Structure 1
Amino acid sequence: MGRAKEAMMQAWQDEEMVEWIEENIGEDAGEEGSPEWEKAVQEYHDYHERRELHDMEDYYRSEYEWYLNSKSPHGTFLKEVRNIKNLLNVETDNEAYFSLLVMSHAHTVASLEAYLASTFIQTVTNSDLFIRKLVESDPVFSKTKFTLKEVYEKHENIKVTVAMHLKDVIFHKVDKVKPMFKDVLGIDFGNIEWLAKAVSLRHHCVHRAGIDKDGERINLSADSINHLITDCQVLTHNIEEELLFLDDGSF
């Protein structure tokens, strides 16, 4: 940003601040440079910070509610990997095809992550038993202390509270996801070393466009991605099978 543009932005922000002070504090703000004015400026910044925080909370809440209300996570996952398989049949030059492979690998992993997140969040938040198991087994929840007022407030929005926490857990960290499914839902992923490798490879796809730390292209092919898709499909199918016989404590 150039200096002229910076000056213009600063002038606009100063004007917005003065208007807010005049509207909300008025003559009590005193003159610019006075202690009263400095206090008014601080009140403006506090208000601005609270508004930004509120907007951010609204954004995240809408995202968390998407996880809570998402329809058929498994169906969505299957649709996405089917689309990826179709894309792999596109004919193009080698350079463009490598880019396609990079995006396809990353999207396959992301599709599995979305399935795991949506499935776990929906299953847990729709069962008091699973919510209790999560609170007891999760290190963050188990160590959190609340006042009686906070307990009441949290209970009123328990689904969103739990969803917010679970969304904050980075689901591509297999060392966290696997035990959560096991401890709370009793679903064992088995050996998923292949997923840990796929996630590691995905890092190169997302952050370095398919180039490793040595500056070399990572080893991707249509076969490797199709194989990854198959492994993901087997995992999601097994999870869906387990969910059919899950005892959620309801009558």
Structure 2
Amino acid sequence: MSLQMDISFACECGEHVEDIVYVQDPDFSAEKNKDSQTDSWQEVFCPSCDKEYTVQVTNTFYSAMASIDYGNVDVNHGMPYYPEDEADELYWYIDSKTHYEILQSHLKSVRTLLEVEVPPDTLFNLWVMLHGHVVSAIEGYLAGIFIHKVTNSEELIRKLVETDPEFSKRTFTLKEIFEKQSNLKVTVATYLKDLIFHDLKKVKPMFKDVLGHDFGDISWLFKDVVKRHDCVHRAGYNKDGEAIEVSKDSVLVLLEKVEALADSVEATVGKLDEPNDLPF
């Protein structure tokens, strides 16, 4: 999902240039804002004189900006946003109430596939794919249920702002505040989706601080996420070229742990008030 930004500036020939540049995600593995900065450079051409300008786009946890290191060119830029079709995906996270049902459907399919008869030399590949699928399914559920509950509750959004060290430190201009109010759900959903899918270690304290749910010991999940990386990026082999430990039994154990985790979350969020429409 690629962020975009509208920019405009005056070419030295006098032409008013408007264009769209891509915004690279910040480094979500960084602990501090100063370490989260990412930079990208894109070429923009004046439609009148065809002069080429190099636009530098910088993004951090807090804000994004665009600049041109040429003469006295000042770049006006808007807030980063997702294209309409990608924003639709965020609205699905916000509006959907079927995250648990979707997870259950995935897990049921995995159980069925575990019983399919395949040649012995194919079993390892099947287990590798199923392990990766189960981990992706629980990540999708955690992202979906958290985003849905938080974005539809003014109280939970306030808790997120008060307890999340990165989101709470974001600063906006007065103009941006009004823009954000009209699109607050998408703003929060964008932040949460990127965070949950890129930095699982931050999910546990967020669920506890915002939703009041304590995962307990989920060290097994972090280990299975690492194993999923080997499944997806090296087809079941670690960086040393050795086959990972995966089997029908290990996938079944993972299924049981994932189901128990999701059931515990459902028990907690079921006690929360039904989502309410925000006054924006």
The TM-score normalised by the length of structure 1 is: 0.76
Q: Output the amino acid matched with 1:160.
A: V
CA distance in 2, matches of 1:237, 1:230: 11
Q: Tell me the alpha carbon deviations over residues 89-147 of structure 1, each in whole angstroms, 9 at most, x when there is no partner.
A: 11111222111101100000000011000000000011000001111222222111111
Structure 2 residue aligned with 1:120, among 129, 133, 146? 146
Residue of structure 2 equivalent to 1:40: 49
CA distance in 1, matches of 2:95, 2:196: 20
Q: Which residue of 2 aligns with 1:148?
A: 174
Return the alpha-carbon distance in structure 2 between the equivalents of residues 193 and 156 of structure 1: 39
Instruction: With a CA cutoff of 8 Å and minimum separation of 6, indicate the structure with the bigger relative contact order.
Output: 1
Tell me whether 1:205 sits opposite 2:214 in the alignment.
no
Aligned counterpart, 1:166: 192
Q: 1:241 to 1:42 in 2, by over 3 A?
A: farther
> What is the rounded CA distance, in whole Å, between the counterparts of 1:145 and 1:167 in structure 2?
20
Residues 101, 222 of structure 1: 8 Å contact kept: yes
Q: 2:242 aligns with which of 210, 216, 233?
A: 216
Structure 2, unaligned runs of 5 or more: 1-14, 16-45, 56-78
Q: Are the aligned partners of 1:171 and 1:177 in contact in 2 as well (CA < 8 Å)? A: no
Give the whole-Å Cα distance in 2 for the aligned partners of 1:131 and 1:56. Answer: 21
90, 94, 107: which one aligns with 2:120: 94
Work out whether residues 68 and 122 of structure 1, in 8 Å CA contact, stay in contact via their aligned partners in 2: yes
Q: Distance in 2 between matches of 1:142 and 1:135?
A: 5
TM-score when scaled to structure 2?
Answer: 0.69
Aligned residue in 1 for 2:222:
196
> How far, CA to CA, are the matches of 2:51 and 2:151 in structure 1?
40
Whether the 8 Å contact between 1:135 and 1:142 is mirrored in structure 2 is: yes
1:225, CA displacement in angstroms?
A: 0.4
- Aligned match of 1:227: 253
Q: Does the residue aligned with 1:171 lie in a helix, a strand or coil?
A: helix
- Tell whether 2:264 aligns with 1:238: yes
Max Rg structure: 1
The corresponding residue for 1:107 is 133
Residue aligned with 2:162, SS: helix
Contact 2:149 2:275 (8 Å CA) reproduced? no
Percent sequence identity is 47
* CA contact 2:151–2:188 (8 Å) conserved in 1: yes
Query: Structure 1 CA distance, aligned partners of 2:266 and 2:81?
Result: 36
Q: Which amino acid aligns with 2:176?
A: E
- Deviation digits for residues 47-73 of structure 1 (CA, Å, limit 9, x no counterpart): xxxxxx999533431221121122410
The secondary structure found in structure 1 opposite 2:83 is helix
* Cα distance in structure 1, aligned partners of 2:172 and 2:113: 50
5+ residue gaps, structure 1? 1-24, 26-36, 47-52
Greater helix share, 1 or 2? 1
Q: How many residues align?
A: 211
Question: What does residue 63 of structure 1 align with?
Answer: 89
Q: Answer yes or no: is 1:175 the counterpart of 2:204.
A: no
